[in-house]
Amino acid sequence: MDLIFLLQDVINGILMGSIYGLVALGLTLVFGVLKIINFAHGSFLMVGMYVAYWIVAYTGLHPYLALFLVAPIMYFFGYQMQQWLIRPIFVAERDVREPITVIIVTTGVWYVLDNLALLLFGPDYRALSPNPLKGEMIEIGEILISTPKLFGFIITVLTAAGLYWFLLKTRMGRAIRATSLDRDAASLMGISQWKIFNVAFGIGTAIAGIAAVVLVPVYNVYPTVGVPFDVKSFVIVVLGGLGSIPGALLGGVIIGLIESIGPNFMTSTWTEAIVYGLFLLVLFFKPSGLFGQKYDW
């Protein structure tokens, strides 16, 4: 086959994969700090997409400017979600490090949010309008690169770098890392565990909001739009290593590449089998993932 098409697919795979990685980044942060699995993460993405959609529809803002509204709104949403829904479970099961009940609660949140969206907005597929990025392409020789996906890639890299800097260099970032490593010891440093949980959950949700803004110019918005991303995020997070930031990005790119290159060689439905096959292989042979820490805290 033509090499140029392959190159095109590789670029596409990396760009789309980085956006998957961005969604997974929020999930991996929440897991890293709270040690809980947030099944509602895809629904947070959906909420973020609706928020972005309505902001753009009502104000006519450029979608990327809407980012500066969507991210804080989603941060607040996540912060309150942890404060009022997740925290009570930690309090009720205070002897358990990773209360399993949280999985049931976050699954419940997922169903409630998805159906609430269905109730409020109906099942329609909505395309962003006005959408200044629609169909925009950059041409480099014979290769076409989708502009919004390229921006998505850039925003992902900036978000990950910003998160890294925040975690490594700020007072709050150090407190978050300390809490994720040893909650009791962090308490003895004067760090409020609940505050950290709220902030970490808020940041994780805000990252879902950033991913939503990145997706909204290229993806339709509908009530269950989060589900495929939710499932992919789990595969990515396990692949890259639970709690690992580079792992989430690399895992995303791997999935993106499989999805974009795969269909050249086989029916596209087979790519899913490869993705989940890889998932199983990682669980068998390297359960801590590509970048996961072997040391538990």
Partner 1 sequence: MSLLDIRGIDVFYGDVQVVYDLSLTVNEGEVVSIIGGNGAGKSTLLRTISGLLKPAGGEILFDGQPMHTRLPEEIVEAGLIHVPEGRRLFSLMSVADNLIVGGHNKRAYPHVPQNLAKVYEMFPRLQERAAQLAMTLSGGEQQMVAIGRGLMAMPKLLMLDEPSLGLAPLLIQEIFRTVRMIADLGTTVLLVEQDVRHSLSLSDRGYVLEHGRVAMEGDAKELMDNPHIKTAYLGI
State which residue, 265 or 295, has the beta carbon closest to partner 1. 295
User: 3-class DSSP state for residue 100?
Assistant: coil
**What is the phi/psi pair of residue 136, to 5°?**
-65, 135
Cβ 180 to partner 1 shortest distance, Å: 9
CB of 191 to partner 1, least distance (A): 5
Q: Which is nearer to partner 1, 181 or 278 (CB)?
A: 181
Least distance (Å) between residue 32 CB and partner 1 = 11
Alpha-carbon gap, residue 224 to 99, rounded angstroms: 27
**3-class secondary-structure state, position 23:** helix
Residues lying near partner 1 in the complex (CB under 8 A): 171, 174-175, 177-178, 181-182, 184-192, 293, 295, 297
Q: Which is nearer to partner 1, 164 or 297 (CB)?
A: 297
Say how many CA atoms lie within 13 Å of 14 toward its Cβ: 11
- Which of 285, 170, 271 has the alpha carbon at shortest distance from 228? 271
Retrieve residue 14's tokens. Answer: 């990396």
Query: Which of 173/263 has CB closer to partner 1?
Result: 173
**Using the 8-state DSSP alphabet, how is residue 264 labeled?**
G
Q: Among residues 107 and 187, whose Cβ is nearest to partner 1?
A: 187
CB of 177 to partner 1, least distance (A): 6
Q: How far apart are CA 154 and CA 29, in angstroms?
A: 20
Question: CB of residue 223 vs partner 1: minimum separation in angstroms?
Answer: 40
CA distance 141 to 10: 16
